[in-house]
Amino acid sequence: MKRRTFMAGAGALTSVSLPSKPKKYLVHHAIFWLKNPTSESDKNKLIEGLETLRAVSYIQELHVGALASTEKRDVVDTSWQVSEVMFFNNTQDQKSYQDHPIHQAFVKNYSHLWSKVLVYDAQDV
Amino acid sequence: MKRRTFMAGAGALTSVSLPSKPKKYLVHHAIFWLKNPTSESDKNKLIEGLETLRAVSYIQELHVGALASTEKRDVVDTSWQVSEVMFFNNTQDQKSYQDHPIHQAFVKNYSHLWSKVLVYDAQDV
C-alpha cells in the first residue's frame, strides 16, 4: 500500500505543469526622454548607442526598446521615447557596468541626446 | 585568389564573438508604491499576488522584484517597493493578459495594497 501511495504521488507530481521561475536577476531599467522627442534620427542614434553596451560582459541580457503601442491607460507612462532593460547577476556586476569604459563612453557620446533619464533597479525575489 | 579571399573572409566571420541579441519582446514593467511603504507584510502579500500571474500563458517570462540595494544616484527612483517585469510576444498578448481572469482577480484581490502603479511598455527594437 505504501508503494502504491508513493507511485500515485509521483504520478500527480509529474502531471503538474507549473510555469518555471526564471533565474533571479538584478533588473536594471533605464528610461530616456529625448531632448527632441519627435526626432526619429535622435531616437535611432540613442538606440545605436545603447547597442554598444551589448559588449559589456557583466550584462547577462539587454533589451533595447522604444515606447510600445499598447493601450493608453492612466497608469501607463507614454511620455518617454527609449528604454534599456538589463539583467545582471547581482548588484556588484551592475556597479561594475556603471564604471565600465564602454558605459562611460556611451554616456560621453550620447548623453547630449536626452533631457532626462530615470532608473528602476529591481532585485528578483 | 578569389577562393583565398573568400576563405579569409569566412575565417574572420567565425572568429568574431559578438554577444547575441535576445528574441524581441514587448517588455511590460509595472512599478508599485505600497499604501504602507514600510510594511514587509504588505510587500510580501503583493509579491504573493504577482506570483499568481505566472499562470497566465501569454506571459513569456515574469520577474517579480523588490527595490534593489544599488548605489543611490539622482537618476535612480528608489521611492517604490515592488516591481513586475513581463515579457510578451506582442502587444496583442499584452492586451489578452490585461483582460485575463487571473489578472482581473489579481487586481481585485491585491489593489487595496498599493497607492500608485506606474507602467512602462517598451517594444524591443
Q: pLDDT for B62-76, tens place per residue?
A: 999 999 999 999 999
pTM given for the model? 0.84
Q: Which of A1-10, A88-97, B57-66 has the lowest mean pLDDT?
A: A1-10
Query: Would the CB atoms of A22 and B62 count as touching at under 8 Å?
Result: yes
- Confidence class for position B24, pLDDT limits 50, 70, 90: very high
Q: Nearest-CA distance from A120 to chain B in Å? A: 6
The pLDDT of residue B47: 98
What is the signed CA dihedral for B106, B76, A23, B99, rounded to 10 degrees? 20
- So where are chain A's domains? 22-123
B74–A contact, CB cutoff 8 A: no
Tell me the CATH number for domain B22-123. Answer: 3.30.70.100
* Beta bridge partners of residue A27, listed in sequence order: A87, A122
**DSSP string for residues in A10-60:** HHHHHH--PPPPPPP-EEEEEEEEESSTT-HHHHHHHHHHHHHGGG-TT-S
**CB within 8 Å: A123 and B25:** no
CA A95 to chain CA centroid, Å, is 15
- Under an 8 A CB cutoff, do A25 and B63 touch? yes
Nearest Cβ partner of A85 from B70, B71, B122?
A: B122
Chain B residues close to A62, C-beta within 8 Å: 19, 22
| Secondary structure class of A110 (helix, strand, coil) | helix
d(CA A22, CA A44): 31
Binned at pLDDT 50, 70 and 90, residue A103 comes out as: very high
Q: Write down the pLDDT at residue B21.
A: 67
User: A57 contacts in B (CB within 8 Å)?
Assistant: 19
B65: cell is 522584484
Interface subset of B 30-59, CB within 8 angstroms of A: 30-31, 47, 54-55, 57, 59
Chain A residue nearest residue B20, CA to CA = A54
Query: What percentage of chain A reaches a pLDDT higher than 70?
Result: 82
Q: What is the pLDDT of residue A16?
A: 54
A94 part of contact set with chain B, CB < 8 Å: yes
